[in-house]
Amino acid sequence: MNADQDTDYGNLFRLDRRRALVIGAGSGIGRESALALAAHGAEVICADRDLAAAEQTAEHSLTLSTGGAAVTARRLDVLDQQAIETAAAELGEIDVVVFTAATNVRKRLLDYSSEEFDRVVSLNLRSAFDLIRAFAPGMAERGRGSMIGFTSIRAVAVEPGQGVYAATKAGLLQLMRTAAAELGPSGVRFNVIGPGVVETPLTTQIRNDPDWYRAYAEKSALGRWSKPSELAGAVVYLASDASSFVTGSQLMVDGGWTAVDGRYTPPR
């Protein structure tokens, strides 16, 4: 965005002629992110470890796409560093990278195994590191780009049984802030979105328990869980010129959870 020209507010959120890679597009927040980006004119590559799920998202996104932008699907396992590097080389110019893939093992620290620790850290934090190293250099060369990750209320507020997950989300925030500081001079922006409790496959375990579901709902200012679609607006904002001066930030979309200091101690 050129600050010396009059701002076209009518198209502030448009993403025409931009290419967006959405990782984790097969379900949940990733799926809704892909749909929203396509609806705002972006060419979207829907990536997921489950290719069939990615293809379904791409098919739906195509019906929402405006301006004739292409929507495609790709299999990508972000636990495979070589696969990430290959994708970056094959896809070429990418303007926006959104990564939503995450996992959680709900156990207290003393009950964790080393293998479980490695699994959570690898997907939630190491994969983000690999994605930054693969896609940010091209963005820096072109002098523009936006990378968007997802943290959690757990990046700032913890509860028993969420320690390792919380550590990865806090780590992701600091990783993205550092990338913002290092690559800001090259025109690349790095931000994260901090959801509250969202009805996604990752939260199936607690959603299936009526007591947990109700307790979590009551901890937010709005008194309910969110739908994945309620995160999509934040993604479009951070991908677009509407956020051209926003980098190194954590945008909380948590229904006011952190504002009211919500906390729930689950039963052992």
Residues with a catalytic annotation lie at: 165
What is the pLDDT tens value at each position of the chain, 268 positions in all?
555 567 899 999 999 999 999 999 999 999 999 999 999 999 999 999 999 999 999 999 988 987 778 999 999 999 999 999 999 999 999 999 999 999 999 999 999 999 999 999 999 999 999 999 999 999 999 999 999 999 999 999 888 999 999 999 999 999 999 999 999 999 999 999 999 999 987 777 778 888 888 888 888 899 999 999 999 999 999 999 999 999 999 999 999 999 887 555 666 6
Q: What is the CATH number of domain 16-253?
A: 3.40.50.720
pTM above 0.75, yes or no: yes
The amino acid at residue 216 is Y
Q: Give the residue carrying structure tokens 């303007």.
A: 95
> Is 46 within 8 Å of 54 (Cβ atoms)?
yes
Name the token pair of 183: 């690559």
Name the token pair of 172: 């992701």
CA gap 190, 168 in Å, rounded:
17
Q: Which of 158, 57, 161 is nearest to 100 (CA)?
A: 57
Torsion of CA 62, 45, 237, 245, to 10 degrees: -150
DSSP string, 51-84: HHHHHHHHHHHHHH--TT--EEEEE--TT-HHHH
Name the token pair of 189: 């922006």
Q: Which of 37, 9, 56, 39 is nearest to 96 (CA)?
A: 37
CA angle centred on 232, ends 230 and 233, rounded to 5°: 90
What's the chain's length in residues? 268
Task: Give the pLDDT confidence score for residue 201 in this predicted structure.
Answer: 78
DSSP string, 111-174: G--HHHHHHHHIIIIIHHHHHHHHHHHHHHHHT-EEEEEE--GGGT---TT-HHHHHHHHHHHH
Q: Per-residue b/e over 141-161, b at no fewer than 16 CB within 10 Å?
A: eeebbbbbbbbbbbbbbbbeb
